[in-house]
Amino acid sequence: MIRINQLKLPVDHGKDQLLSKAAKALKIPADQIKSIHIVKQSVDARKKPDICFSYVVDVETAKESEVVHKVKNANVMLVKEKAYEFPQPGEQELKTPPVIVGCGPAGLFCGLMLARAGYCPVLLERGEDVDSRKRKVSDFWLNGILDTESNVQFGEGGAGTFSDGKLNTLVKDPVKRNQKVLEILAEFGADPAILYQNKPHIGTDVLSGIVKNIRTEIIRLGGSVHFLSCVTDFKLENGRLREITVNGKECRKVDALVLAIGHSARDTFEILYGKNVPMQQKSFAVGLRIQHPQKMINLSQYGTERYNEILGAASYKLTKQTSGGRGVYSFCMCPGGYVVDASSEPGRLAVNGMSDHARDGLNANSALIVTVTPEDFPNQAALAGVEYQRNLESLAYQYGGGKIPVQLYGDFKAGRESISFGDVAPELKGRYQFANLREMLPSYLSEALIEGVDGFESMIKGFARHDAIFAGIESRTSSPVRIERNSEFESEIKGIFPCGEGAGYAGGITSAAMDGIKIAEEITRRYKPLK
């Protein structure tokens, strides 16, 4: 196979032009190309408004070594792609099926891989199935009635179900787990374009159908999925997990337990901490969501509105080091999306961002967050980061009167409560109320956010506009805890496999799914299948 890098074409090009461009790069007639496969597609907007697509493609043709030698181009090379390989099963006997706690990306992908390998996994999810969950969440956004077990954080699909469904990750991936995750998502309903797009996304509307399809396949292959099933106790003996209790009454013996509990399972963290399961504090980030008109972001990023229909809503990624030494950066940017009430505990409020697949909302929104470290936490206990989050969420609930507290950026800078919106119309899911967010935050966070937003103005014109809308608090960016595991991905307590974002080993849909696959591989290497 011949790989061609940096193959540039106009945004409105056709398929024939891609073939012709590849043939020209190889200095061969187009009819000598047997196949062409897009490896990567990205937008090159460095010379805006002259925008183009940049491709990496793999081409199959005759006498490939001779072609590459003749071309003498650093962007043309021979490649031999190695596909992802799932390991062969081990020899240990399993007395009980593997149990997976949590049906977010980590749990679902772990469950799917184990089900396909014949291990008949049992998945326990404290929340509801995705359809019931969506109804509960919609009712909460409309009426403010929170179900603490089925909400934006808990339920089938995990917290990522109510997000933009972004699939990019910075995780190094020599064994191709990332590609496997994308292939599985495409298999179960995602647009196949995610296999090559530089910044692929699914959208919350499409993602909900995909997680349902994965669940159906797990069950078809002999696994089982149980909703409204919260693990409430762990029985340990001689440094090994023996049994779990579900919903305070049902006891289940377990040989291998995958802890894919998500970053908001604070009650489960507390139970594990009380059982002396080794865990430690970890840094995370907190901040506010900011909304701007999507048209403003498109014009800044593309320099033109000519190709909006082809390119879709533009995204951005911004970072700045402040004079106080803290980094401020955009996180979970949602083009054409909404700010949503993502609360999961009574008397506490948290927000997140969400986009449908079309990304056709009026506004762009992003979390602007500041890293906080254990030095900022109230004490040195392993769960001090949870306490830090809860304190901020309690203040957000208090300042918003139980609704999402919002404020114009100009008023945030001035330290006064807003009284009306400007030209930026709010796009929120959930009830909201004006409040002075500046009073709600520690001064080091407020000052860092102001310096960050003002600095981002030089990168995106209008970013620091007075009527940009702040909403808070964005506190669930990642887990505040790491549940320790060894090189074989197992806790010091034998039989427990900490997994995914909640355990502190992932930071998004793709990396969590990859970690779930990693745990499935380890269980497979050890044990024989059940069927």
Q: What is the CATH number of the domain that holds 496?
A: 3.50.50.60
Q: Residues 230, 290: one domain?
A: no
Q: Residues 289, 312: one domain?
A: yes
Which pLDDT score is estimated for 8? 96
Residue of 460, 108, 49 lying closest to 260 (CA atoms): 108
Question: Which domain, by its residues, includes 127?
Answer: 99-281+479-526
Establish if 501 belongs to a structural domain: yes
Which pLDDT score is estimated for 383? 98
Establish if 114 belongs to a structural domain: yes
CB 128 within 8 A of CB 227: yes
Q: Residues 229, 290: one domain?
A: no
The one-letter code for the residue type at 420 is S
Which pLDDT score is estimated for 164? 87
Establish if 318 belongs to a structural domain: yes
pTM score: 0.96
Q: Residues 50, 173: one domain?
A: no
Which pLDDT score is estimated for 441? 97
Q: Compute the distance between CA of residue 513 and CA of residue 531 in angstroms, rounded to an integer.
A: 24
Q: Residues 239, 304: one domain?
A: no
Q: Residues 350, 437: one domain?
A: yes
Structure token pair of residue 177: 């787990």
Q: Residues 330, 469: one domain?
A: yes
Residue appearing with tokens 């190309």: 33
Last residue of one domain, picked from the residues 474, 495, 513: 474
Q: Could you report the per-residue pLDDT of 16-42, keeping only the tens digit for each?
A: 999 999 999 999 999 999 999 999 999
Establish if 191 belongs to a structural domain: yes
Establish if 83 belongs to a structural domain: no
Helix (H, G, I), strand (E, B) or coil at 233: strand
Establish if 93 belongs to a structural domain: no
62: domain CATH number is 3.30.70.2700
Which pLDDT score is estimated for 171? 81
Which pLDDT score is estimated for 217? 98
The per-residue DSSP string of 324-341 comes to: TS-EEEEEEEETT-EEEE
Q: Residues 142, 235: one domain?
A: yes
Which pLDDT score is estimated for 481? 97
Strand 327-334 to 363-372 pairing: antiparallel
Establish if 94 belongs to a structural domain: no
Q: Residues 412, 334: one domain?
A: yes
Which residues does the chain have with pLDDT short of 50? none
Q: In degrees, to the nearest 5, what angle opens at C-alpha 275 toward C-alphas 271 and 281?
A: 70
Q: Residues 266, 294: one domain?
A: no
Total domain count, the chain = 3
Q: Residues 36, 155: one domain?
A: no
Establish if 291 belongs to a structural domain: yes
CB 300 within 8 A of CB 461: yes
Q: Could you report the per-residue pLDDT of 272-281, keeping only the tens digit for each?
A: 999 999 999 9
Q: Residues 331, 442: one domain?
A: yes
Last residue of one domain, picked from the residues 78, 111, 143: 78
Q: Could you report the per-residue pLDDT of 391-432, keeping only the tens digit for each?
A: 999 999 999 999 999 999 999 999 999 999 999 999 999 999
Q: In degrees, to the nearest 5, what angle opens at C-alpha 456 toward C-alphas 505 and 314?
A: 70
